[in-house]
Structure 1
Amino acid sequence: MSDINTATKLADMQIPESWAAYTAQRSVEQDQFFQSGVIRAVPNIASQLAGGGFLVNMPYFKPLADDAPQIPDDNKDIELHTIQTAVSQAREYGMDQGWSATDLAAELAGADPMTAISNSISDYWRHINEKILLKTLDGVYGSSTMSNINQFNATDGRRNDHTFSLQNFNAARFQLGDRYRDLAVIAVHSDILQQLQNANIVDQKTGNTILVNGNQLPTQIQAPNPGDTIKGVQIVVDDSLPVKDGVYTSYLFATGAFGWSELPADHAVETGRDGLRFHGVDYLINRRRFILAPAGMSWNESAYQMDKATAHTTAAFPTLDDLGNAKYWNRVADPKLIPFVKFTTTADSIQSTTTPASNTPSSSAPASSSSSSAAPAGK
């Protein structure tokens, strides 16, 4: 009979102290918002919380005022102006999670539990990262300080075209005016990606391949796939983007639209075992402390603490629903310096139109033309 006291248990396994950092880093490497540059690491944020507290002050310079230039006059001195500064605040987030596995489950699986746990936990935190970003955007765009700013809703009843068409895409991009080129990434639902691809293949009215003078109509995008670009804007596909009653929300981002910093956490990884429960169970606990802050926006800690005090609830760290609460976000930067745009459309078929070729060509008539509102321009 084997000696059960020598059995290897999860708590006995060699888990390096950097394991928590490893799983966090792995979740970042797999996250398309990090990889596309929407979220950018800002390591110096962590150092500001070394002495405790939940808030980080992030000072920034405002654009120079458009004061009238001074006309040379040797009877006057040149008046000196200054550059204005402001401060936005970012909130520390704290999230814990635990997992367990019974001896019997491990025996039946016949696999290394640590490998399975490591891979699963990094995927779990990647999904949480996405939820935090999207919940934050809910709160930001619900804020009164962002009313009618950096958002274009094609479904608001003021236009006939509700789709992700060239005209609507451009209307969304140009919410930043002459800074539209800052928007480098667009996140869309897979239904919207399918809509874009379908628009390149067939005439949505007839179901036929679009032909002009017997030739395939050169559409303006090349049936985009994730990683492709639309007018130089990289496509990211994520089905966790909001969908409600047939209305889809897409987001355009500049690189570095969100700043991220992973902070040290006490007992970031903890393991244990209960030999009686479930006839033997190992457990693992993961703790994370981090910041994910949208550029140009500031967390309203006073409103958050006031609500928690009124409700007599714990206020140490915000929940996901708290991040989506419009009262807790304030815009502190000029709209053009808010590096993201909300774009709302439907997944209805993008209508493509063609001008049919004349049956009796004339040398004096211009060549037949075609137009497509199907989708934005390609790579």
Structure 2
Amino acid sequence: MAVTTIADMVIVPEKFSQYVIDRTTELNTFLKSGIATPDAVVGKLINGSPEGGRFIELPMWDALDGEEDVFGETDVSIGSIATKSSHATLLMRQKAWGSTDLARVLGGADPMGAIANLIADWRNTREQKVYLAILKGLFDGTSGALKEHLNDISAKTGNSGADACISDGATLDTKQLLGDHYGNLGMVFMHSAVYTYLQKNGMITRNPIFDPSQSSVDMERYLGYSIKVDDSMPYISYEECTSSDDGKIEVTAVNIAELQEHCATTLTASTSDAKKYVKAISPVYDTYFVGAGAFIRQEGTPQGFIGTETDRDKIGAKNYLINRWCQIIHPRGFSWNINAAYPTINGEVIKYPNNAMLATPANWSLAVHHKKVNLACLRHKIG
């Protein structure tokens, strides 16, 4: 069967970009759960950004203060309504694929749909890493802007180590960090190992819910929180060690990326002069308690921005599809540091933040009272 190539297709960039955006939105678990919601005002701000713009301003009203007057013949006192603002950063990302990367799907009846679905799946995986990078920065135990909502029990040693494990008591202590706003937390995102641990200990409840299309379905909950199980939830399972430690693993250029994802300290690969090692430890998990609308997620098209392009290398007989996207993924109640230090990558100072910058605590500041933020984190072990 003849294989359709990118060069054979007539791609209308605007329509293809929208197709990918729509498909990505449809598949996005964070959006479907309701913790990330669009914002039409933010969308207009993105679309109005001049070419080269990097930030948008999010104005907000200060809470009213002062005391009321007692009715009488004197003039009523006049209070003021003050405003403040926070900043959000544009996320501008791009990726190109060659026809050889897509050859296995281009022979189908709907090659454009196949490509769009592949890109949407890939972008969802990448977007989830954006949320997790932001949460990592906010919940840094030393300087995170939301460290007041972090309940870190992972180092506790009482009850033969059981005090370091997730429990009903530890969860209730976590929600109490929001005080009387605890009711804004409705969902819990956890790793499957945490979920299985809770199951083993009979801590998961199943509530039947009537669904006309399926007669009834069971909604699993943990202490009333709707459960979302996802193995991309972060955990730490390695620590640096010396060559004399049992079970040591040498850090190499091949495995450093995999090891770094689950190690709290920054690793470097071994060299001929210096060997670097890590060892496995009892995993420490981050379990997130999240409320609806905790994040703004909004797509947009700044002036001069081209979302989709195709190209062909005639000499090399290669076809390319380039996909670029611009969006805001911003935790409500926070401000991005517009004076953040942007790193040099491939000889160029980047203009928009990468995930490492999003995970940097110093790049975020709290812009509202912490009780108004629908996020909390329990850092723990499992038995």
- TM-score normalised by L of structure 1: 0.75
1:127-153 Cα distance to aligned partner (Å, 9 max, x none): 111100110111222373636411111
**Alpha-carbon distance change, 328 to 148 in structure 1, aligned in 2, over 3 angstroms:** closer
SS at match of 1:146: coil
Structure 2 counterpart of 1:43: 40
Gap regions ≥5 residues in structure 2: 209-216, 238-282
Structure 1 position 337 matched with structure 2 position 372: yes
SS at match of 2:139: helix
Structure 2 counterpart of 1:94: 92
CA distance in structure 1 between the partners assigned to 2:63 and 2:165 by the alignment: 35
CA distance in structure 1 between the partners assigned to 2:144 and 2:354 by the alignment: 22
Structure 1 counterpart of 2:360: 325
CA distance in structure 2 between the partners assigned to 1:341 and 1:228 by the alignment: 20
Query: Superposition pairs for residues 174-189 of structure 1, below 5 Å?
Result: 174-189=176-191
* 8 Å contact from structure 1 (residues 197, 223) kept in 2: no
Structure 1 position 267 matched with structure 2 position 306: yes
CA distance in structure 2 between the partners assigned to 1:227 and 1:26 by the alignment: 26
Structure 2 counterpart of 1:24: 21
The residue type paired with residue 290 of structure 1 is Q
1:23-69 Cα distance to aligned partner (Å, 9 max, x none): 1221121111110111001122132241412111111223333x444
User: Among 219, 222, 225, which residue is 1:230 paired with?
Assistant: 222
Structure 2 counterpart of 1:255: 292
**Alpha-carbon distance change, 316 to 120 in structure 1, aligned in 2, over 3 angstroms:** same
**Alpha-carbon distance change, 109 to 156 in structure 1, aligned in 2, over 3 angstroms:** same
Greater strand percent: which structure?
2
The residue type paired with residue 274 of structure 1 is D
* 8 Å contact from structure 1 (residues 196, 223) kept in 2: no
Structure 2 counterpart of 1:33: 30
1:262-321 Cα distance to aligned partner (Å, 9 max, x none): 1126331112233543xx4322110011111101110001133xx559x98423111111
CA distance in structure 1 between the partners assigned to 2:171 and 2:27 by the alignment: 28
User: Among 231, 243, 252, which residue is 1:239 paired with?
Assistant: 231
**Alpha-carbon distance change, 158 to 63 in structure 1, aligned in 2, over 3 angstroms:** farther
The residue type paired with residue 196 of structure 2 is Q
Give the root-mean-square deviation of aligned CA atoms.
3.0
SS at match of 1:316: coil
Query: Superposition pairs for residues 1-379 of structure 1, below 5 Å?
Result: 9-16=5-12, 17-49=14-46, 50-52=48-50, 53-65=53-65, 67-74=66-73, 76-102=74-100, 106=103, 110-111=107-108, 113-142=111-140, 144=143, 146=145, 148-157=147-156, 160=159, 161-200=163-202, 221-222=205-206, 228-245=220-237, 246-264=283-301, 266-277=305-316, 280-304=317-341, 307-308=342-343, 313-348=348-383
**Alpha-carbon distance change, 296 to 156 in structure 1, aligned in 2, over 3 angstroms:** farther
Higher gyration radius (CA): 1
CA distance in structure 2 between the partners assigned to 1:241 and 1:173 by the alignment: 19
CA distance in structure 1 between the partners assigned to 2:105 and 2:233 by the alignment: 37
Superposition deviation, residue 184 in structure 1 = 1.4
* 8 Å contact from structure 1 (residues 32, 236) kept in 2: no
The residue type paired with residue 42 of structure 2 is I
- TM-score normalised by L of structure 2: 0.74
SS at match of 1:81: coil
* 8 Å contact from structure 2 (residues 106, 114) kept in 1: no
The residue type paired with residue 112 of structure 2 is M
**Alpha-carbon distance change, 42 to 269 in structure 1, aligned in 2, over 3 angstroms:** same
CA distance in structure 2 between the partners assigned to 1:273 and 1:227 by the alignment: 50
1:2-29 Cα distance to aligned partner (Å, 9 max, x none): xx9xx95412313343211221221121
Percent identity between the aligned chains?
Answer: 26
The residue type paired with residue 237 of structure 1 is V
The residue type paired with residue 205 of structure 2 is I
* 8 Å contact from structure 2 (residues 4, 107) kept in 1: no
Structure 1 counterpart of 2:270: none
SS at match of 1:47: helix
* 8 Å contact from structure 1 (residues 226, 237) kept in 2: no
SS at match of 1:236: strand
CA distance in structure 1 between the partners assigned to 2:76 and 2:228 by the alignment: 51
CA distance in structure 1 between the partners assigned to 2:189 and 2:170 by the alignment: 15
